[in-house]
């Protein structure tokens, strides 16, 4: 772990927090009550973590050294530092607005605007640091600079930044999670209104897997997995490397043989069905590691995803994908290999969507992506979820996956060990210790 990784992780958390506040702002605008404890938790976190710790640390070390090494950085750093300086006052103003709104002195719509202004500032600040400052720091700072920065950021005894402080920040963050409105969980977005949970838990079971086993030669990779997914649910499957997550998805879509157990989909026993038939039924997978066809154009990659579909709907569906991912439209004629990692991930998801899934399987969609791209991919998943898509999400990024999932399953060496709602798993001690690094 180095300072840069740490800073990027902080940014990713803050970004998620900002997206959450945006979503709550939307709900307040639509008439939801102002939950003051939730906002207090968010503001406490920003005050203690961002304003008192993260920003001063950047000012004193990263920014100071960057100014020494690069004259061109000065203007950007000046404006970032002004934002650092003004942060606490802005937060105080916002706290007052929330109080005013909860006592009826300010309308929900007015508060929503204030909240959005604030998060827009926060996001643009993070974006500038991620896109301009950190890359510049990587190129111009000397080894000795990094040693100094890392020492400062990784000092476990530092009262502002060390282990004790980190524990407090975690507690604060966890408080936000537990106080966040249920419809949001952590990491909401403005992508759409989520269906309320109770409705979904009453929806019919769409997928039921019982006692699934699968082997590689003599090694049993899945040792009897049982799991169900209801219509409209987002279910997360998390677990360490080699737990069997990918094997599970591949067995489900029929490309990996199942040696025992059963799979029912929409009431039908599909245990012995060929994979292309399963795809026709609507089980479509975006595979691990993206696996787009590099030499083929983006358009042709999308067409491949629709090979089980009637021809006359393909062009229309492709336009829908292009609306969802405008960058793909821009580059539609180019080889897929020219896309960035994040864009290829969008393409892989788009290709799965071309099969008109009724159950979308996503295998580690955030793998290998920079924090802001991870956020973009998760925004897409949230948007699909808000439209009612049934999703089975496999992730190494357990926190993010559980935060948007209705329910989750923890997989350990071929067995499901813990299951519960996304929020339950996030607060589960065992899960936190093993997968969330907390
Ligand atoms: N092609 C293969 N041949 C033999 N063993 C395999 C093969 N693929 C996976 N395994 C083994 O099966 C087990 C489960 O692997 P799997 O890839 O399903 O795990 P995973 O949870 O997806 O891991 P990761 O987080 O690394 O993607 C592991 O022990 C792995 O070594
Ligand atoms: Mg895998």
Give the model's pLDDT for residue 193.
Answer: 34
- Looking at 179, 206, 240, which one is the last position of a domain? 179
Is 215 in the same domain as 170?
A: no
Is 100 in the same domain as 13?
A: yes
User: Within a domain: residue 189?
Assistant: no
Residue 173 or 177, more confident: 173
CA distance 379 to 54: 25
How many angstroms does the Cα of residue 248 sit away from the middle of ligand 2? 9
CATH number of the domain bearing residue 322: 3.40.50.300
Give the model's pLDDT for residue 326.
Answer: 79
Residue 9 or 113, more confident: 113
Predicted confidence (pLDDT) per residue in 302-311, tens digit? 999 998 889 9
Minimum mean pLDDT among 126-140, 149-163, 271-285: which range? 149-163
Is 290 in the same domain as 339?
A: yes
CA distance 374 to 359: 22
User: Within a domain: residue 242?
Assistant: yes
Q: Which of 212, 219, 247, 366 to mutate to test the pocket of ligand 1 (most atoms within 8 A of CB)?
A: 247
For strand 219-230 and strand 205-216, is the pairing parallel, antiparallel, or unpaired?
A: antiparallel
User: Within a domain: residue 414?
Assistant: yes
For strand 205-216 and strand 359-363, is the pairing parallel, antiparallel, or unpaired?
A: unpaired
Give the model's pLDDT for residue 299.
Answer: 96
Is 120 in the same domain as 254?
A: no
User: Within a domain: residue 47?
Assistant: yes
CB atoms within 10 A of CB 256: 18
CA distance 43 to 330: 39
Band (pLDDT 50/70/90 cuts) for residue 195 is very low
Is 414 in the same domain as 280?
A: yes
Can you tell me the mean pLDDT for 145-154?
A: 91
Give the model's pLDDT for residue 160.
Answer: 74
Q: Which residue is listed with tokens 């993206």? A: 290
CA distance 34 to 28: 6
Is 129 in the same domain as 222?
A: no
How many angstroms does the Cα of residue 414 sit away from the middle of ligand 2? 12
- Which bound ligand lies closest to the C-alpha atom of 363? 2
Is 175 in the same domain as 204?
A: no
Give the model's pLDDT for residue 436.
Answer: 62
**Cα radius of gyration rounded to whole Å, the chain:** 23
Can you tell me the mean pLDDT for 219-232?
A: 94
CA distance 357 to 390: 8
pLDDT at 1 over 80: no
- Average pLDDT over all residues of the chain: 87
Minimum mean pLDDT among 65-74, 82-91, 168-177, 232-241: which range? 168-177
Is 174 in the same domain as 208?
A: no
Is 415 in the same domain as 329?
A: yes
- Looking at 179, 213, 230, which one is the last position of a domain? 179
Distances from the Cα of 411 to the Cα of 234, 406, 425, angstroms: 16, 17, 12
Q: Which of 217, 243, 409, 411 to mutate to test the pocket of ligand 1 (most atoms within 8 A of CB)?
A: 243
List the shell of residues around ion ligand 2, using CB closer than 5 Å: 245-246, 288
Phi, psi of 177 (to 5 degrees): -55, -45
User: Within a domain: residue 187?
Assistant: no
Q: Which residue is listed with tokens 């950021």? A: 153
Give the model's pLDDT for residue 396.
Answer: 79
Q: Whose CA is nearest to atom 6 of ligand 1?
A: 216
- Looking at 151, 179, 207, which one is the last position of a domain? 179
Range of the domain at 381: 197-435
Please work out whether the CB of residue 241 comes within 6 Å of at least one atom of ligand 1. Answer: yes
User: Within a domain: residue 188?
Assistant: no
Predicted confidence (pLDDT) per residue in 329-367, tens digit? 889 999 999 988 888 888 999 999 999 999 999 999 988
Can you tell me the mean pLDDT for 228-251?
A: 92
Q: Which of 220, 225, 237, 242 to mutate to test the pocket of ligand 1 (most atoms within 8 A of CB)?
A: 242
User: Within a domain: residue 109?
Assistant: yes
CATH number of the domain bearing residue 36: 1.20.120.520
User: Within a domain: residue 191?
Assistant: no
Give the model's pLDDT for residue 191.
Answer: 30
Residue 320 or 169, more confident: 320
CB 364, CB 396: distance < 8 Å:
yes
pTM metric for this prediction: 0.62
How many angstroms does the Cα of residue 406 sit away from the middle of ligand 2? 21
How many angstroms does the Cα of residue 173 sit away from the middle of ligand 2? 28
Give how many domains the chain has, as a whole number.
2
pLDDT at 119 over 90: yes
Please work out whether the CB of residue 245 comes within 6 Å of at least one atom of ligand 1. Answer: yes
Is 120 in the same domain as 260?
A: no
């Amino acid at each position: 772990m180095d300072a840069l990784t740490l800073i990027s992780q902080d940014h990713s958390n803050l970004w998620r927090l900002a997206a959450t506040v945006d979503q709550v702002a939307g709900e307040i605008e639509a008439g939801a009550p102002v939950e003051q404890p939730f906002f207090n938790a968010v503001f406490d976190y920003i005050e203690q973590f961002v304003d008192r710790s993260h920003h001063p640390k950047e000012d004193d070390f990263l920014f100071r050294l960057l100014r020494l090494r690069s004259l061109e950085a000065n203007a950007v750093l000046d404006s970032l530092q002004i934002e650092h300086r003004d942060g606490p006052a802005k937060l105080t103003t916002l706290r007052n607005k929330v109080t005013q709104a909860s006592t009826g002195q300010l309308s929900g719509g007015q508060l929503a605007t204030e909240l959005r202004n604030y998060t827009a500032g926060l996001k643009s600040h993070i974006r500038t640091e991620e896109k301009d400052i950190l890359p510049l720091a990587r190129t111009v700072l000397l080894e000795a600079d990094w040693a100094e920065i890392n020492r400062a950021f990784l000092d476990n005894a530092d009262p502002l930044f060390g282990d004790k402080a980190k524990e407090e920040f975690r507690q604060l963050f966890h408080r936000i999670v537990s106080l966040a409105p249920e419809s949001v969980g952590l990491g909401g977005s403005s992508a759409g209104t989520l269906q309320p949970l109770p409705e979904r838990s009453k929806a019919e079971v769409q997928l039921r897997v019982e006692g699934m086993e699968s082997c590689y030669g003599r090694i049993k990779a899945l040792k009897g997995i049982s799991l169900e997914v209801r219509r409209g649910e987002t279910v997360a499957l998390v677990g360490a490397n080699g737990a069997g997550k990918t094997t599970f998805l591949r067995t489900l879509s029929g490309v990996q043989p199942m040696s025992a157990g059963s799979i029912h989909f929409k009431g039908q026993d599909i245990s012995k069905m060929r994979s292309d038939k399963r795809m026709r039924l609507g089980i479509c997978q975006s595979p691990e590691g993206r696996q787009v066809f590099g030499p083929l154009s983006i358009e042709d990659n999308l067409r491949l995803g629709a090979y089980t579909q009637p021809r006359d709907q393909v062009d229309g569906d492709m336009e829908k994908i292009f609306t969802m991912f405008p960058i793909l439209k821009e580059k539609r004629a180019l080889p897929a290999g020219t896309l960035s990692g994040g864009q290829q991930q969008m393409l892989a998801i788009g290709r799965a969507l071309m099969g008109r899934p009724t159950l979308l399987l996503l295998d580690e969609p955030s793998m290998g992506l920079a924090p802001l791209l991870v956020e973009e991919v998760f925004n897409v998943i949230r948007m699909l979820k808000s439209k009612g898509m049934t999703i089975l999400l496999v992730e190494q990024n357990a926190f993010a996956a559980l935060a948007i999932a209705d329910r989750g399953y923890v997989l350990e060496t071929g067995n499901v060990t813990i299951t519960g709602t996304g929020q339950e798993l996030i607060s589960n001690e065992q899960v936190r210790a093993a997968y969330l690094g907390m």
